[in-house]
Amino acid sequence: MSAYRGRFAPSPTGPLHFGSLVGALASWLDARAHRGAWLVRIEDLDGPRTVPGAADDILRTLAHFGMAPDEPPVWQSRRDAHYAAALAQLTAGGLVYPCGCTRKEIADSLRAAHERHTTLAYPGTCRDGLHGKRARTWRLRVPDGNAAIVTFDDRWQRTQTQNLATDVGDFVLKRADGQWAYQLAVVVDDADAGITHVVRGADLLDSTARQIYLQRCLGAPTPAYLHVPVVVDTHGEKLSKQTGATALERDDPLPALRAAAAHLGLAVEGDAPGIARDAFLLAATAAWARRFGPGTG
C-alpha cells in the first residue's frame, strides 16, 4: 500500500464545533496511528454558505487542539480548473449529460414515482436529450442492472451496499448555480492529494458509493473509508451550526478532546486531571491504534 495520507475537510460555514471536532480528531488519530500524513482541505465551494474568516478560525482552533496539518491546507475555491478538467474527461467518455429539470419538476416526478412505489432516484428525464429545455445541471450517467451496485467495506460500519440506479439515479456534477457539486470536488481533490484513507462522519456514508463510482469513471484509486458515528443533539439531529452547536473553547481544549475521544469509544489510558494536551493526544492515538491501527484490518 502507498504511504498513508488522510485528511479533514471542513466546510467553513462557521467555527469548529463539537460535531466537527469529532471528525477532525478521528481523522487525525487514524493518520497518527498509521504514522501517516494528515492534511486539511477547506471545502469553500459553496460561496453563499461560506462565512468569511471561518476557515482561518477553524485552522486556528485545530492548532490549539494540537492538530496542525502536515502540509499547507488546500482550498477548493482555488481548484476550479481541476474540476473542469474532470468534467471534460467524463464528458469525452460519454458519461455526462446536460439536464434541464428544475428541482420542482424532479420533486413532482419523484412524488408520482413514490405513489407507484417505484424508484426515488432521479428518473433520468434528460438522459436522451433536453426536450427543448435549457441546460441547468450536468449529470453523471449511472449504469443499470448489477453494474449499479456499489459495495465497500467501511472500517467502522462494515459492509455497505448501494444501488446507484435505484437509490440515487444519475447525479449532479455541476449545479444549476454554476457551482461544482460536492461529489465531484471531493473525488478530484482526494485523488489529486493522494488520499489513501478517508475518515469522516457517518452522515457522508450514503455519498460514498457515488464517490467510489466516480473514482472508477475517472480512473482514480479508491481510498479506505471509515465513517464515525455523528454527534446528535437532544432532538436526535446531527449537531451543526444550523442546530445551534456552540463554538469550542480554544484556550481549554482538554474537556472537548476528552468528550470527543469518549464519543469515539476510546479508553484513553493514563488520562487524569492535569494531563497535558499532547500527552492526552498520544494516549488517545495508542487507544485508536489498538482498535484501528495497522494490522487490525
Smallest gap, in angstroms, from Cβ of residue 59 to ligand GLU? 14
Give the count of residues interacting with ligand GLU (CB under 6 A): 7
Query: Cell 475517472 belongs to which residue?
Result: 218
The reply to whether 204 sits near ligand GLU by the rule CB under 6 A is: yes
Among the residue ranges 8-16, 159-167, 231-239, 277-285, the one whose residues contact ligand GLU (CB under 6 A): 8-16
Q: Based on CB atoms, which residue is closest to ligand GLU, 140 or 185?
A: 185
> In the complex with ligand GLU, which residue's Cβ is closer, 183 or 285?
183
Residue 10: closest CA among 79, 64, 75, 71: 75
Q: Are 106 and 139 in contact (CB under 8 A)?
A: no
Q: Using CB under 6 A, which residues numbered 182 to 201 contact ligand GLU? A: 186, 200
User: What's the grid cell of residue 197?
Assistant: 484513507
Phi/psi of residue 68, each to 5°? -105, 135
Classify the C-alpha dihedral 250-254-259-262 as positive or negative.
positive
Candidate ranges 4-12, 121-129, 226-234, 271-279; the one touching ligand GLU (CB under 6 A): 4-12
Interface with ligand GLU (CB under 6 A), residue from 34, 36, 40, 43: 43
Q: Is 161 helix (H, G, I), strand (E, B) or coil?
A: strand
Nearer to ligand GLU, 197 or 200 (CB): 200
Q: Which of 195, 103, 93, 194 is nearest to 143 (CA)?
A: 93
CB of 149 to ligand GLU, least distance (A): 22
Cβ atoms of residues 209 and 152 within 8 Å: yes
Contact predicate 110/117, CB 8 Å: no
- For ligand GLU, the binding residue among 9, 31, 67, 245 (CB under 6 A) is 9
Q: Which residues bind ligand GLU (CB under 6 A)?
A: 9-11, 43, 186, 200, 204
